[in-house]
C-alpha cells in the first residue's frame, strides 16, 4: 500500500519542529491533522485532514465519497455532500472524549477520495459504484461512505454481500426506501432496500429501520417489509426516549452477523439536519443519532454510510458538521478499535 502524506505546503523547518512534533507518526498509523498543529482553516480538505490514499490497500478502514444525486426525488444537491462534509470535518479531533474510543491508534485509516460516478446515467453509476466498492473491500478494508443520495447503498450492498453474504442492517431514516419503483423506475433513492431484498443481500429479520415517519401513499406502504420480517421503528416510538435500550436489543439479535450501518441524515429532525432533500418533521435528535451509532459498538460492522447531506440547503453548515461527526463515530465503533478507561 502506498499512503501519500498530504503535506500542507513546504517542508517545515526550525520553528515547525517544536510545534509539529506531535505529527511525527508515533506508530504505523495515519492521523488526522490536529487544530493545534495546523490552523483549522488550513490544508486541503480531506476527511479530518487525514492522508489521502490512492487505494484501500493496507487500510483497515477508509473514508470514501460517492458524489451522486441523480436518484433524488425532491431537492437535489447531495452530489456535493462528500465535499462539504470534508470541509466541516477539520474541527473533529482524533480521540472520542465521550466513549474513550481511540480509533486512529487502533486502525490504519485514510481518505481514499471519491468513487467515479456518471451523473447522467443512474444505472451506469450503480454498476460502477458496485465495481469500485468490490475493489475497496476486497482485502478487508471497511468503507465509511459519504453520499450522495440513498441510491448508493444499493450498489454498495451488492459489493458487500458478495464478499460477506447477506447482512444485518441498522438503517436510520425518515423513509423506508423500500418502494418497488419511483415514477416507474427501479433505481432511485426511494428503492434501494427493495432492490437489496430482491437480490438477497439482506437478512430480513435483522433489518432495523429506525426513525420512519411522514406521510405515505397508502395504508399498505409498509406491509411488505413487515411480512418479510423487517423491524420498523417509527419515529413516534422514539420520541422522548433514549435509543440505548433499542441498541442493546439490536446487538443481541445481530450477534456475529455481518452488519451494515446506513444512516440517512434525514433520520434526524430538520431542526438538527435541515440540509437534506426530503426532510420530514418529528424526527430524531442528533443525540439519538449519536446513541444509535455508539450503540453499534460490538457489532460485526462491515461497512457504513452517511447519506443525503445536501449542502445547498444547509445554510449554517450544521448538517454537514453532523454528518462528519457521525462518520467519526462510525469509525469509533468498528471492530478492532481500542477504548481507554
Residues 170-229 that bind a second copy (CB under 8 A): 179, 181-185, 187-188, 212-219, 221-222
Nearest distance, CB of residue 167 and a second copy, angstroms: 21
Which of residues 1, 17, 19, 298 is near a second copy by CB under 8 A?
19
Candidates 30, 70, 209, 225: give the one binding a second copy (CB under 8 A): 70
16 binds a second copy (CB under 8 A): yes
Distance CA 53, CA 37 (A): 21
Task: Name the one range near a second copy by CB under 8 A: 121-129, 163-171, 194-202, 251-259.
Answer: 121-129
Site string for a second copy, 307-336 (x = CB under 8 A): -----xxxxxxx--xx--x--x--------
Q: Is 171 annotated as a binding residue?
A: no
Cα–Cα separations (whole angstroms), residue 264 to 23, 58, 120, 155, 217: 34, 29, 23, 16, 21
Q: Residue 10 and residue 284: Cα distance in Å, rounded?
A: 45
User: Looking at 97, 227, 252, 256, which residue binds a second copy (CB under 8 A)?
Assistant: 97
Interaction residues for a second copy, span 139-168 (CB under 8 A): none
- Collect all residues with Cβ–Cβ distance below 8 Å to 151 and sequence separation of at least 6: 68, 70, 71, 122, 125, 126, 187, 188, 189, 191, 192
264 assigned ligand-binding residue: yes
Residue 159's CB is within 10 A of a number of other CB atoms, namely: 22
User: C-alpha angle with apex 304: 61 to 86, nearest 5 degrees?
Assistant: 70
189 among annotated binding-site residues: no
Asked if residue 102 belongs to a known ligand binding site, the reply is: no
Q: In this structure, what are the phi and psi dihedrals at residue 315, rounded to the nearest 5 degrees?
A: -65, -20
At a CB cut-off of 8 Å and minimum separation 6, what does 317 contact?
A: 84, 88
Write out the binding residues for a second copy, residues 241-300 only, by CB under 8 A: 242, 269-272, 274-275, 278-282, 285-287, 289-290
- Would you call 73 exposed, middle or buried from its count of C-beta atoms within 10 A (0-12, 13-18, 19+)? middle
The site map against a second copy for 27-56 (x = CB under 8 A) is -------xxxxxxxxxxxxx-----x-xxx
Annotated binding site for Mn(2+): 150, 173, 175, 177, 264, 266
Annotated binding site: 150, 173, 175, 177, 264, 266
Amino acid at each position: 500500500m502506498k499512503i501519500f502524506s498530504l503535506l500542507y505546503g513546504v517542508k517545515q523547518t526550525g520553528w515547525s519542529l517544536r510545534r509539529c512534533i506531535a505529527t511525527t507518526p508515533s506508530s504505523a498509523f495515519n492521523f488526522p491533522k490536529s487544530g493545534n498543529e495546523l490552523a483549522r482553516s488550513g490544508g486541503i480538505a480531506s476527511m479530518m485532514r487525514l492522508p489521502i490514499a490512492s487505494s484501500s490497500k493496507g487500510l483497515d478502514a477508509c473514508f470514501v465519497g460517492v458524489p451522486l444525486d441523480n436518484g433524488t426525488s425532491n431537492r437535489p444537491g447531495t452530489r456535493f455532500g462528500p465535499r462539504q462534509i470534508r470541509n466541516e470535518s477539520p474541527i473533529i479531533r482524533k480521540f472520542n472524549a465521550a466513549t474513550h474510543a481511540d480509533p486512529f491508534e487502533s486502525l490504519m485509516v485514510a481518505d481514499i477520495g471519491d468513487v467515479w460516478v456518471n451523473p447522467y446515467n443512474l444505472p451506469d453509476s450503480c454498476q460502477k459504484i458496485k465495481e469500485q466498492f468490490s475493489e475497496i473491500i476486497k482485502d478487508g478494508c471497511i468503507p465509511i461512505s459519504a453520499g450522495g443520495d440513498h441510491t448508493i447503498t444499493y450498489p454498495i450492498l451488492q459489493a458487500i454481500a458478495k464478499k460477506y453474504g447477506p447482512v444485518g442492517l441498522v438503517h436510520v431514516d425518515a423513509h423506508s426506501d423500500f418502494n418497488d419503483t419511483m415514477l416507474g423506475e427501479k433505481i432511485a433513492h426511494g428503492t434501494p432496500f427493495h432492490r437489496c431484498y430482491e437480490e438477497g443481500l439482506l437478512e430480513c429479520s435483522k433489518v432495523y429501520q429506525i426513525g420512519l415517519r411522514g406521510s405515505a401513499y397508502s395504508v399498505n406502504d409498509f406491509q411488505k417489509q413487515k411480512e418479510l420480517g423487517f423491524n420498523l421503528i417509527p419515529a413516534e416510538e422514539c420520541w422522548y426516549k433514549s435509543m440505548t435500550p433499542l441498541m442493546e436489543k439490536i446487538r443481541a439479535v445481530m450477534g456475529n452477523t455481518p452488519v451494515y450501518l446506513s444512516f440517512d441524515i434525514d433520520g434526524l429532525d430538520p431542526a438538527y439536519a435541515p440540509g437534506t432533500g426530503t426532510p420530514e418533521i418529528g424526527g430524531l435528535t442528533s443525540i439519538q443519532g449519536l446513541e444509535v451509532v455508539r450503540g453499534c459498538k460490538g457489532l460485526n460492522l462491515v461497512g457504513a454510510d452517511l447519506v443525503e447531506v445536501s449542502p445547498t440547503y444547509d445554510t449554517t453548515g450544521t448538517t454537514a458538521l453532523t454528518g462528519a461527526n457521525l462518520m467519526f463515530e462510525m469509525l469509533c465503533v468498528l471492530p478492532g478499535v481500542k477504548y481507554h478507561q
